Structure 1
């Protein structure tokens, strides 16, 4: 028997239960992809109903992105403190509430608040599902699983956008958020029953019954139990976020941050405004949504 639950996962062949959990992580990333772009799908209808200009609409479209930034820091850190599974479930609840309340918005200000709340959940979710996917996969299966998880985002925007285009034929932009809220609620019991806490988290948090709880997670994944836990390292320097700014790393950190920031600016700017731009040319809401769908089909193929 292996002493480290992480090694049990890394060295064992990928089983059905592990792939089910990975499939749910892909689906959750797809849900995030749809939720982020739901306001873009609804943008032409929002602008038309409330008669707001592009400046006010731009604020509404950016609110969930602001929420994602804070959510990835605040709720993403919760995944390390409270566990991956509770964080995913909590983020789903936050997202469902935000999407549901968006259907009650009577003006751009209230809609912006609910989109900010939804973004908090999305940001935390993105951080947690990356950790879950990496920690429940074997060495051989991890690369494939991570690649599939990443392309879940454009797939969700593609499938969700296709559904949104059909729903928007009714003319009411609120149906996009109603669909998102219902889809989010569906995932809560699926994650609760089919995704255990990752054994790796128990090695970091070290509760009193860490070995027993790690073995229960291994059993849920249909993997053999670990005999013992590796000893806790003593005297090792404690990791800090500021480590990425140490001499020798600061240049790489700043370069990667700048590059990724510019990527996000162009990526979300183009995707968020595409439906509104197409609608301004005189096309219908479903036609405007279909343009964004094709953009994400390209993203999925590229991934």
Structure 2
């Protein structure tokens, strides 16, 4: 029997999550894992790419940055398109882009081709990430939303762990089999396409707000697939009354007076957290090697960074059910700063390095989980993918700059004649302070008025 009055979005927000909703959240974890696999696949393949194309380290660094540039563009541009066309079509399209891009990378015959293909692949990953955060928020209920977003975020370090294991199995000593890493990545995206096609309906939140052609039938189809009761009619929304105007202005709505401050503060918080996060992710192996520990052991330390990241994301998800989201995230960002500074003080002992690296990964990824969860709260449905995409896209500048900035700081220290231990401690302190700046940005962030904005535009 159909309900005639209730807003269909309340079925999702207020009722217990069904098995299909849980499976959709698990699917978003896999989306995030593909991101982690792909970012680290190019990193672990670096030696093979350098040898085959005769690159120096500076040229390799440029190739490594190509994907991040594509991700930044994809997050901003495709996130806005997802708010117009829907979550499902964008996710499926991005999976096709990622699969074809990774496969093309395995066939690249020149460094110029490889660079272009990496930008193309990054576009798909950027669009996937901005849409994925919206999907988690719109397919989970209020009670479990923080936990679900945290689970999605831990997919990234899980993908990193998988990448390390697969790379260890298929890459030779000189990385000559680097193309195989991208073939694996392509098949991962291909495998996700039919699963997404069969499992994921269009978002009830998006359908109810935008109300495209056959909206009622599509909403009831989605509700039935998710295990909920259908509705007899859809509520009249402001989006429906001003649908054409809204379609033209939705991308700019994140810069409206109601959302401008939140957009800027979230972007700055994410950017500064990325500066810290990617310092740990990208520089840990090199730091361990500089301390006189072998490359294989250095890879093991990076493994513990990712393990710490998984545990940090899980812990944040459970804590967010009992502690306020904003204060919890701020405390974790402060602890990230301290953990990274302590990592810089580590002695050249493998056990100590592994423990401190795991702690840094724990708090750094928990902080990322907090910021992603705040995005779902701050941005209302009609600009959720747009706002998330903009924050991720601009924040990726921190990911691009972080390894370069840390390298400059280290080089300056060595040129002054400082000892290795002093340089590492100094750089870790400065890079860790970026998380402290991220916490300061969140201190000025308001969320109540943004929840009011959600209701006003519903």
Higher relative contact order (CA 8 A, sep 6+): 1
- Which residue does 1:131 correspond to in 2? 134
Match of 1:264 among 259, 274, 277: 274
- Which residue does 1:104 correspond to in 2? 107
Per-residue deviation, 1:192: 0.5
Correspondence 1:235-250 to 2 at 5 A = 241-242=251-252, 245=255
| 1:125-153 residue CA offsets vs partner (Å, 9 max, x unmatched) | 00111111111112222222111111111
Distance 1:298 1:93, change over 3 A: same
Correspondence 1:98-177 to 2 at 5 A = 98-169=101-172, 171=175, 172-177=177-182
Correspondence 1:24-39 to 2 at 5 A = 24-39=27-42
Per-residue deviation, 1:248: 8.4
Q: Kindly indicate whether the alpha-carbon contact (under 8 Å) linking 1:161 and 1:290 is maintained by their aligned counterparts in 2.
A: no
Larger Cα Rg: Structure 1 or Structure 2? 2
- 2:80, 2:224 → 1: CA distance? 27
- Which residue does 2:401 correspond to in 1? none
Per-residue deviation, 1:190: 0.5
Q: What is the aligned-residue RMSD (CA, Å)?
A: 2.7
**What residue ranges of structure 2 are gaps of 5+ in the alignment?**
314-458
1:19 pairs with 2:22: yes
Per-residue deviation, 1:287: 6.2
- Which residue does 1:185 correspond to in 2? 190
Q: Kindly indicate whether the alpha-carbon contact (under 8 Å) linking 1:137 and 1:145 is maintained by their aligned counterparts in 2.
A: yes
- 1:203, 1:166 → 2: CA distance? 48
Per-residue deviation, 1:250: 5.4
Q: Kindly indicate whether the alpha-carbon contact (under 8 Å) linking 2:40 and 2:163 is maintained by their aligned counterparts in 1.
A: no
Partner of 1:231, secondary structure, is coil
- Which residue does 1:220 correspond to in 2? 225
| 1:53-99 residue CA offsets vs partner (Å, 9 max, x unmatched) | 11110111000100001101222222112111111010000000110
- 1:134, 1:249 → 2: CA distance? 18
Q: What's the TM-score, normalizing by structure 1?
A: 0.89
Distance 1:248 1:223, change over 3 A: closer
- Which residue does 1:63 correspond to in 2? 66
| 1:30-66 residue CA offsets vs partner (Å, 9 max, x unmatched) | 1111112211111122122322111110111000100
Per-residue deviation, 1:242: 4.8
Q: Kindly indicate whether the alpha-carbon contact (under 8 Å) linking 1:41 and 1:275 is maintained by their aligned counterparts in 2.
A: no
**What residue ranges of structure 1 are gaps of 5+ in the alignment?**
none
Q: What's the TM-score, normalizing by structure 2?
A: 0.60
1:4 pairs with 2:7: yes
